Structure 1
Amino acid sequence: MTRVLGIDACKAGWVGVLRTNDKITALVAATLAQLIHQAEHSHPAATDAGARPLEPIAVIAIDMPIGLPDTAPRQADVLARAAIGRLSSSVFTTPVRAALQAPTHSEAVLINRELTGQGLSIQAYGLRAKLFEVDEWLTHATTRVVEVHPEVSFAYLAGAPLTVRKSTWSGAERRRALLADAGIPLSGDLGLAGHAVGVDDVLDAGAAAWSALRVAEGQAISLPNPPETFTDGRPAAIWV
């Protein structure tokens, strides 16, 4: 039994798509640690509860930068943009760690520009809490964790970059069909009724779960290959 988990950030905190063989479960939690705890103890169906011990999760894939750069843009971000073409604006340039540690956006811009020659968007700076939540959790993670970018995963699933955004009906349906064909069917309420989780967040978590499965089965590739390593010592690459 192969269990993999794909994770995306959302307004409620974090959303995960857990795949246990061909069973799909969606989970939501305010913190990353809570979400992973839910996943580790989640049975694919009520009839399975107590039948046998759960296998550990083989791979967790998360749509959040792992490995923060020191003085230059990450190759992972550069290669991800190239892989998705028209929708490349969905890949933000990961700020350097020192900029993210700055207490204000204006200070972060100055630090990032001094070290990399580039500014820093308010959107990228706004992710700092989630970035550092992942960064801290990784210090005691026992499961293999990889970084993914959903649009890169969708491009590989489709065999070419997608051109319609998932915020549109046709874009969402295209991505849902691609995932279903790849063994990640996202239909019904998935247990998400009552949760403030957007369609795009669930699709992204599903794409992350697909990439996690590829990693678990030894079929995935990394961008770049081999991954970069910065002073934080974490391999920086987007897996697909």
Structure 2
Amino acid sequence: MSSSTETDAWVVGADGFRDGWVVVLHRPRTGTTRCRTVDGADALFDLPEAPAVLGIDMVIGLPDRAVPGGRTCDQAARQLLGHPRGASVFSPPAHAALGAETYDEAQRRNHASGPDAPGLTKQAFYLLPKMRALADRMTPALQDRVREVHPELAFYAMNGDAPVEDSKHTEAGRAARTTLLAARGFPEVETVAAHLSGGPVGADDVLDAHAACWTARRIHEGTAERCPSQDASAPRNDRGLRMEIWR
């Protein structure tokens, strides 16, 4: 992944859905935005636009040992978002759980990763295939351009460092997030959602991919913020990947 020139660069946000990824591509210089779906990590990493930054709403820096409450960045994100939005930040599995084929096996592997390692939620288990596909491609060098992001942290930043009150699963919550995105250069969210939604893609997937793209643009501009705070070094796992979430 590389851009032809910095001024012409694309940035991308990606959010997973059952059958693949919703991707939102944005060229800041012209304000051009594209949205489509791709079916797997290879297509996500090899987009023809060769984005300068790819923000992915999925765990990238998996911990080597699972701990209650998750990574430092997960805990920091929940603290920012508070109740109830903080519940959208789940504790990721240990890297060893990626190879599990059943929920019981994933539970055993997660428990075995450390002395106080918790079990694994069903939500996390269902995301293992996407986490595994990303882990197969990720390297520390690639993490300069491929970053872990979180949509609710993006909306928090857009909303004046305050969590959006209503859930994205409600009409009021979707409207509030659509308004925030429109004010930041993404006025077409409702049109895109109407076109893509239905079947496995939900309106919230489209919203989240746009939020991830907004964060990718901020990373490219050098204005993004991070959990943990950028005043501290981000911990790294045994594969050298930083455990951090951008907004």
2:186 corresponds in structure 1 to 184
Query: 2:238 is matched by which residue type in structure 1?
Result: T
Structure 2 equivalent of residue 45 of structure 1: none
CA contact (8 A) 1:15 1:35 kept: no
| 2:4 aligned with 1:6 | no
Tell me the distance in 2 between the aligned counterparts of 1:90 and 1:220. Answer: 20
The residue that corresponds to 1:206 in the other structure is 210
Structure 1 unaligned residues grouped into runs of 5+: 42-55
Distance 1:143 1:40 in 2: 19
Cα distance in 1, alignment partners of residues 206 and 192 from structure 2: 11
Residue of structure 1 in register with 2:173 after alignment: 171
Q: For residue 195 of structure 1, report the CA deviation from its aligned partner.
A: 6.8
1:79 is the counterpart of 2:64:
no
Match of 1:107 among 87, 97, 105: 105
Aligned length: 225
- Kindly report which structure 2 residues correspond to 1:24-173, keeping only aligned pairs within 5 A, or say none: 24-37=33-46, 39-41=47-49, 56-71=50-65, 72=67, 73-85=70-82, 86-114=84-112, 115=114, 116-139=116-139, 144-159=145-160, 160-173=162-175
**Structure 2, unaligned stretches of length 5 or more?**
1-7
Structure 2 counterpart of 1:214, which letter? Answer: R
Q: Take 1:206 and 1:157, find their aligned partners in 2: how far apart are those partners? A: 12
Measured after TM superposition, the shift of residue 162 of structure 1 is 1.4
Q: TM-score by structure 2 length?
A: 0.84
The 1:195/1:4 distance shift into structure 2, 3 A limit, reads: farther
How big is the shift at 1:181? 0.6
- Give the percent of matched residue pairs that are identical in Structure 1 and Structure 2: 38
Counterparts of 2:222 and 2:144 in 1: how far apart (Å)? 16
Shift of 1:143: 7.1
Contact 1:76 1:237 in 2 (8 A): yes
Runs (4+) off by over 3 Å: 139-143, 189-196
Structure 2 residue 223 is matched with structure 1 residue 219: yes
Cα displacement string for residues 47-78 of structure 1 (whole angstroms, at most 9, x for unaligned residues): xxxxxxxxx42100000111110123311111
Deviation at 1:36, TM superposition (A): 4.5
Q: Following the alignment from structure 1 to structure 2, what is the Cα–Cα distance between the partners of residues 162 and 187?
A: 18
Aligned to 1:16, the other structure's residue is in SS state: strand
1:105 to 1:196, Cα distance in 2 relative to 1, 3 A: closer
1:28 deviation in Å? Answer: 0.4
Rounded to whole Å, the distance in 2 between the matches of 1:98 and 1:142 is 20
C-alpha RMSD over aligned residues: 2.1
